[in-house]
Amino acid sequence: MTTPRCASRPSAVPLNAAGRCYHINCGPGDLAPYILTAGDPARIRRLARRLEEIRVRRANREFLTLTGTYRGVPVSLMATGIGPDNTAIAVIEASACVAPATFIRLGTSGGLQDFIAPGDLVITARALRDEQVSSYYAGPEVEAEAHPRVLAALTEAARELGVPHHVGLTCTTADFYAGQGRVAPGFPCREPDKVARLRARGVLNLEMEMSVYLTLARVSSLNLRAGGVCTVVAQRLTGRALFGGRERAAAEARLLEVGLRALEILYHGDQAGG
């Protein structure tokens, strides 16, 4: 089945006064074909310390983009802010600057299975599209699946580095509170048993961006690849969380190491024609 696409229109991606994409403040030549993303700008700044050089710095609103090299690999680092709507903006505008492109999300999430500990990584093979944004681009029959090459690179990197990890099903929501089954004081929650339902379905983690990356890459005509890995900062079954301190910093460091190693694996595989 062919996925219907929106009719093309002139200037479909708005530009700012500098001639760059309106939200991310980037234009052609500003981005590398390998893009590591995170919601948190602070995580991108920490990742940037690992680059050999940075040749492009762009910022606008919550979007922060840095382009340089890591061990000879051309790479862009992009902070997108929280949520599926921001993710769609980032993917579409980045793809107007460079295509084909590979997106690797390095995020945080809540764990839903009792064998997943805070600090473990979850590598997404497939994501439930429990958000509205991806439905603007693809019908419900389209599975949000990680690109097999990106999935393999992330898994190989985690194994090689000896980082505790799990590979499987993620659920992407559009809300942190009721959308993830949290009952916040003073606000109703229509599905307080959501965690139990998702756990029974075999979902490993909850987060707020992954399915949009995977869906847009799959339906785009621009030859995009996408995948991602999240560290578990909250165990939703026990309530144990890593919201700060040394444990959180160590968990995030492992996440970034896996993302960088996967970048190398993908790049060298692509160079070899694999």
* DSSP single-letter state for residue 21: B
246-262 pLDDT, tens digit per residue, is: 999 999 999 999 999 99
DSSP-derived secondary structure letter, 177: S
Strand stretches in 112-248, DSSP E: 121-130, 144-145, 165-173, 205-207, 224-235
What is the set of domains in the chain, with CATH numbers? 34-271 (3.40.50.1580)
> Are the C-beta atoms of residues 63 and 87 closer than 8 Å to each other?
no
pLDDT tens readout for residues 4-43: 344 444 458 999 999 999 999 999 999 999 999 999 999 9
Q: How far apart are CA 90 and CA 160, in angstroms?
A: 30
- Full-model pTM: 0.95
What radius of gyration do the chain's Cα atoms show? 18
Single-letter amino acid, residue 169: L
In angstroms, what CA-CA distances link 34 with 98, 116, 154?
9, 29, 14
